[in-house]
Amino acid sequence: MKKAFVLAISCLLFLTNCEQPKKEVIKTYTEEPHSYAQPNDAVISHLSLDIEVNFDTRVINGTATYNIETNGAAQIILDAKYLNISEVKADGKVTDFTLGAMDESLGQPLTIAIKENTKNIAITYQTTAKTEALQWLNAQQTADKTNPFLFTQGQAILTRTWIPIQDSPQIRITYDATVKVPSNLMAVMSAENPKEKTADGIYHFKMVQPIPAYLMALAVGDIEYKAISNRTGVYAEKSMIEKVHTEFSDMEKMVLAAENLYGAYDWEQFDVIVLPPSFPFGGMENPRLTFATPTVIAGDKSLTSLVAHELAHSWSGNLVTNSTWDDFWLNEGFTVYFETRIMEALYGKERANMLALIGRQDLDDELEYLKDKPNDTKLKLDLKGRNPDDGMNSIAYDKGYLFLRTLEEKVGRDKMDAFLKAYFKENAFSTTNTEDFIKYLNANLLDNNNITFNTLEWIYEPGVPANASVIKSDAFSNVERVLQNFMDTNKIDAAATSQWTPQEWGHFIRNFSKDISVTQLQQLDDTFNFTNSTNSYISMVWYEQSILNAYHGNDVDIKISEFLNTVGRRWYVTTLFSAFKKADRVDEALVIYKTARQNYHSVTANTIDTLLGYSE
Ligand SMILES: [Zn+2]
Query: What would the pLDDT profile of 426-468 be if each residue is shown by its tens digit?
Result: 999 999 999 999 999 999 999 999 999 999 999 999 999 999 9
Check whether 3 has a pLDDT greater than 90.
no
317 alpha carbon – ligand 1 mean position (Å): 8
- Tens-place pLDDT, residues 370-409: 999 999 999 999 999 999 999 999 999 999 999 999 999 9
63 alpha carbon – ligand 1 mean position (Å): 31
Q: Using alpha carbons only, what angle is made at residue 385 by residues 379 and 387, rounded to the nearest 5 degrees?
A: 65
> Taking a C-beta distance cutoff of 8 angstroms, is the pair 20, 11 a contact?
no
283 alpha carbon – ligand 1 mean position (Å): 8
DSSP 442: I
Confidence grade of residue 26 (pLDDT, cut at 50, 70, 90): low
270-274 and 232-237 beta bridge pairing: parallel
12 alpha carbon – ligand 1 mean position (Å): 41
Find the mean pLDDT for residues 222-251: 98
Between CA 168 and CA 87 the distance in angstroms is 23
Catalytic residue set: 310, 397
What string of DSSP letters covers 148-189?
Answer: -EEEE--TTTTGGGTS-B---TT-EEEEEEEEE--TTSEEEE
Residue 20 sits at φ, ψ, to 5 deg, of: -120, 80
Which of 127, 143, 186, 168 shows the shortest CA–CA distance to 279?
143
> Taking a C-beta distance cutoff of 8 angstroms, is the pair 211, 318 a contact?
yes
CA 359 to chain centre: 16
29 alpha carbon – ligand 1 mean position (Å): 24
- Tens-place pLDDT, residues 161-212: 999 999 999 999 999 999 999 999 999 999 999 999 999 999 999 999 999 9
Position 13 scores a pLDDT of 39
CA 381 to chain centre: 18
Kindly provide the residue ranges of all beta strands, DSSP E only, lying in 312-361, ordered along the sequence.
320-322
583 alpha carbon – ligand 1 mean position (Å): 30
318 alpha carbon – ligand 1 mean position (Å): 10
Position 559 scores a pLDDT of 98
Q: Give the distance between the most distant pair of CA atoms in the chain.
A: 86
Position 616 scores a pLDDT of 81
Which of 121, 222, 211 shows the shortest CA–CA distance to 159?
211
H helical segments located in 348-399? 349-369, 394
- As a whole number, the mean pLDDT across the chain is 95
> Taking a C-beta distance cutoff of 8 angstroms, is the pair 190, 288 a contact?
yes
126 alpha carbon – ligand 1 mean position (Å): 30
Check whether 293 has a pLDDT greater than 80.
yes
Position 431 scores a pLDDT of 95
Q: Each residue of 121-142: b (16+ CB within 10 Å) or e?
A: bbbbbbbeeebbbbbbbeeebb
- Tens-place pLDDT, residues 497-554: 999 999 999 999 999 999 999 999 999 999 999 999 999 999 999 999 999 999 999 9
279 alpha carbon – ligand 1 mean position (Å): 15
- Tens-place pLDDT, residues 408-417: 999 999 999 9
| Three-class SS state of 70 | strand
- Tens-place pLDDT, residues 454-507: 999 999 999 999 999 999 999 999 999 999 999 999 999 889 999 999 999 999
The helices-and-strands tally (H runs, E runs) of the chain is 20, 21
Which of 284, 282, 252 shows the shortest CA–CA distance to 269?
252
Position 494 scores a pLDDT of 87
Check whether 10 has a pLDDT greater than 70.
no
pTM comes to 0.94
Cβ-based neighbours of 137, under 8 Å, separated by 6 or more: 148, 149, 150, 276, 278
Find the mean pLDDT for residues 570-583: 97
DSSP 103: B
Position 580 scores a pLDDT of 98
Position 334 scores a pLDDT of 98
